[in-house]
Homo-oligomer: A and B are copies of this chain.
Amino acid sequence: MSKTIKKIGVLTSGGDSPGMNAAIRSVVRTCAFHGVECLGIYRGYQGMIEGDFKEMGPRSVNNIVNKGGTILKSARSKEFMTKEGRIKAHQNLVNAGVDALVVIGGDGSFTGAEVFNEEFDFPVMGIPGTIDNDIFGTSHTLGYDTALNTVVDCIDKIRDTASSHNRLFFVEVMGRDAGHIALNAGIGAGAEEILIPEEDLGLDRLLESLQKSKASGKSSSIVVVAEGDKMGKNVFELKDYIEQHLPEYDIRVSVLGHMQRGGSPSCFDRVLASRLGVKAVESLLEGKSNYMVGILQDVVTLTPLEQAIKGHYPIDLELLRVSDIMST
């Protein structure tokens, strides 16, 4: 039987994403709402090892719902990968009176949480925070929707100059293992082609598509490339290859980079963060543990951490067809 939970710790871990602060706020205020104490843990698992803690009440999360980044900071911790490090971390939580843990992060962070739970029978709950949207058990991770808007906004700007000069642009977006950002932002930005890890378009079809696009009267084109695209060429090599084969094109490359991780979260991400924070805390209070809270088919749900870590939320294949039709 699970003992009564009187104090919950919360941390952010791994790559940060917009909406993490809104999730922290939600965890803190849900704790307060239920009369449970809340402890903020700085710099993820590393701060847990170092005892870098701060008591948090509902007023300590004022005015952060709209802020990018994470006020608890994030870090990767090698020490937490050792048994010794985790023992230290556990002892610190026990000393601070913490009974349960909410981990906001990606699958690496969840793996840490799962091991921690197993070793110390410590209640944990995960909230998916990453812009890549590559986590099984949730149709949307925190920050993903915001990142899509950031990317689309950037490509809109690039298109202004592309169409003024009749140019072809290769735009690299984040997504090492998953093409969610590339595929959705590519459709949203009206890209002519979208290259994602999940599908090897092939260089020949890319060439063909670009030629068809020019023939159809398009004077400028955008190709969106996920960083993890499987063509075996990075975006600059891709440019060189196309330039060699389609010398009539004036090509430029743009690598959007880390700005995709920042910015004020979209309304969707703020609401999602609020909902997931409530569910995470209340699930812990109900005695549940070792789950990730997520959203599936518009409903907040629990997925065992183990499944969330192993699986990946799949690309909607319908979107590949939509993309093809849109670039008619």
A residues apposed to B, CB below 8 Å: 12, 15-16, 18, 20, 25-26, 29-30, 32-33, 58-59, 62-63, 65-70, 73-75, 139, 145, 148-154, 156-166, 169, 184-185, 187-190, 216-219, 252-255, 257-264, 266-268, 270-271, 274-275, 278, 297-298, 300, 316, 318-319, 321-322, 324-326, 328
7 new A-B pairs (CB below 8 Å) besides A33-B325, A68-B157?
Answer: A32-B328, A59-B218, A65-B189, A68-B161, A73-B163, A159-B262, A184-B267
Give me 7 A-to-B residue pairs in the complex whose CB atoms sit less than 8 angstroms apart, sorted by A's number: A25-B190, A26-B325, A32-B328, A74-B165, A158-B259, A158-B262, A254-B257
Which 3 A-B pairs have CB atoms at the shortest separation, nearest pair first? A157-B262, A160-B262, A68-B160
Of B188, B216, B218, B326, which contacts A267 at CB under 8 A? B188
Check B161 against A16 for contact (C-beta < 8 Å).
yes
Chain B: minimal CB distance from A181 (Å): 10
Contact of B322 with A69 in the complex, beta carbons under 8 Å: no
Taking CB atoms, residues of chain B closer than 8 Å to A62 are: 218
Complex CA gap A275/B259 in Å reads 27
Residues of B close to A324: CB separation below 8 A: 33
Among B73, B148, B157, B169, the residue within 8 A (CB) of A150 is B157
Interface of chain A, main secondary structure = helix
| Chain B residue at minimum C-beta to C-beta distance from A43 | B166
Inter-subunit contact B263/A259 (CB<8 Å):
no
A63 and B278: CB pair below 8 A? Answer: no
Tell me the minimal C-beta distance from A226 to chain B in angstroms: 15
A161 x B26 contact (CB < 8 A): no
A132–chain B nearest beta-carbon distance, Å: 14
- Cα-based distance from A139 to B268 in the complex (angstroms): 13
**CA–CA, A274 and B186, complex, Å:** 12
| CB-based nearest B residue for A217 | B59
The complex places the Cα of A145 from the Cα of B29 at a distance, in Å, of: 26
A259-B154 in contact (CB<8A):
yes
Given A149-B267, A164-B73, A189-B66 in contact, is the A322-B274 Cβ separation under 8 Å?
yes
Q: Which residues from chain B contact A69 at a C-beta distance below 8 Å?
A: 159-161, 163-164
A217 CA to B58 CA, complexed, in Å: 9
Query: Which one, B157, B188, B263, B326, contacts A160 given CB within 8 A?
Result: B263
Evaluate whether A270 and B163 lie within 8 angstroms (CB atoms) in the complex, with A259-B154, A297-B297 already known. Answer: no
Minimum distance in angstroms from A230 CB to a CB of chain B = 23
Residues of chain B within 8 A (CB-CB) of A32 are 328
Shortest A151–chain B CB gap in Å is 7
A188 to B269, CA, bound (A): 8
Centre residue among A25, A154, A319 by max chain B CB count within 10 A: A154
Asked if B254 and A328 make an inter-chain contact with CB atoms under 8 angstroms apart, the answer reads: no
* CB atoms of A258 and B254 under 8 A apart: yes
Q: Contacts A58-B216, A154-B259, A319-B271 given; indicate if A16 touches B148 (C-beta within 8 A).
A: no
- With both beta carbons as reference points, the residue of chain B lying nearest to A190 in the complex is identified as B65
CB <8 Å contact, A258 and B158: yes
Instruction: Collect the chain B residues with CB atoms within 8 Å of residue A145's CB.
Output: 267-268
